[in-house]
Structure 1
Amino acid sequence: MSEQKRLSEGDPAPDFTLPDSTGKPVSLADYRGRSVVVYFYPAAGTPGCTKQACDFRDNLAELNDAGFAVLGISPDKPAKLAKFVADEGLTFPLLSDESRQVLTEWGAYGEKQSYGRTITGVIRSTFVVNPDGKIGKALYNVKATGHVAKLRKDLGV
């Protein structure tokens, strides 16, 4: 497997501006001074991604109360994200990275194992960006189920 970029604790979080499900641009810089959970997922509406998004939705109040905003990023088009938001009642921004540029910069796109085969795709990953814009946690190859509960435990939320 080729060497892939990976972010580590203390690295500056790569900035981005991406359209949300309504087409409105959202920048990581908009959250400077706040803690933000940025998670990357393969595809809106698939079983694992739906479970993960609903877990974030169901835990959003506690995360927000503890000072954490949540952003989800996938290569889906804004229209598909809008349907996903409406279908699941999601209450946090989902951003579209159709070019996969941001996914790649964050180390969340590349070679991965899937059912014993090496494929290229989105690597399910979660990051905590501190108020100073540095990576506080970098979690690669996370599981869709149970991930939010583990993240809350790690964050003391």
Structure 2
Amino acid sequence: MELRPSPAADGRYPAPDFELPNQFGEPTRLSGLKGSPVLLVFYPFAFSSVCSGELDELEAVRGEFDRGGIRILAVSCDSKYSLRAYAQARGYSFDLLADFWPHGEVAHAYGAFDAEHGRPLRASFIIDQEGTVRRVIRSDAGTPRPLQAYRDAFKELASS
């Protein structure tokens, strides 16, 4: 896997490709989703309060994203077994991807890995139909990312 390339003058860059197992062990490859916009959400830990709140909010508005053809991929360094239990307990119907081993490799490729704490940073990537990162939305530890930022980014993407 390549590390994140330097952004162009407009801040866009090719999204690093990856393949990770979802909560059922099924492989999900980013390049296999070309043709659909992707919301790639890195979150620190399954079952933690802020992460659960953010993912609960995404599940609550999933229909809105589905209507826009947007695929939600949520990534943590938890194992697929933990993610299956988490998805079942919380009722998540989108893919939870396990960046378990090599530990945090995909988060690192996106510049979204906190090596000091061994977890992904709270960072989301808006990826267009061609596989280009169009916007990055970050928040500090313990602070949820605003849902409206995702809506605004996809509205902008649809109008470009």
Same fold per superposition (TM over 0.5): yes
Rate the CA distance shift 1:6–1:123 in 2: closer, same or farther, 3 A.
farther
Which residue pairs with 1:107 in the alignment? Answer: 111
Which has the higher mean CA deviation after the structures are superposed, 120-129 or 72-81?
A: 120-129
Q: Which runs of 5+ in 2 are unaligned?
A: none
Contact 1:7 1:138 in 2 (8 A): no
Task: State the Cα RMSD in Å.
Answer: 2.3
Rate the CA distance shift 1:86–1:49 in 2: closer, same or farther, 3 A.
same
What is the rounded CA distance, in whole Å, between the counterparts of 2:24 and 2:37 in structure 1? Answer: 23
Equivalent residues, number? 148
Matched, 1:155 2:154: yes
Q: How does 1:64-83 map to 2 (within 5 A)?
A: 64-83=66-85
What percentage of residue pairs aligned between the two structures are identical? 24
Q: How does 1:34-49 map to 2 (within 5 A)?
A: 34-49=36-51
Structure number with the higher strand fraction is 1
Runs of 4+ that moved beyond 4 A = 5-8
TM-score normalized by the length of structure 1 = 0.84
What is the rounded CA distance, in whole Å, between the counterparts of 1:138 and 1:61 in structure 2? Answer: 22
Contact 1:21 1:81 in 2 (8 A): yes
Distance apart, 1:145 and its partner CA? 3.5
**Residue of structure 1 aligned with 2:128, choices 122, 130, 133:** 130
Distance apart, 1:93 and its partner CA? 0.3
Q: Which runs of 5+ in 1 are unaligned?
A: 112-117
TM-score normalized by the length of structure 2 = 0.83
What is the rounded CA distance, in whole Å, between the counterparts of 1:140 and 1:17 in structure 2? Answer: 23
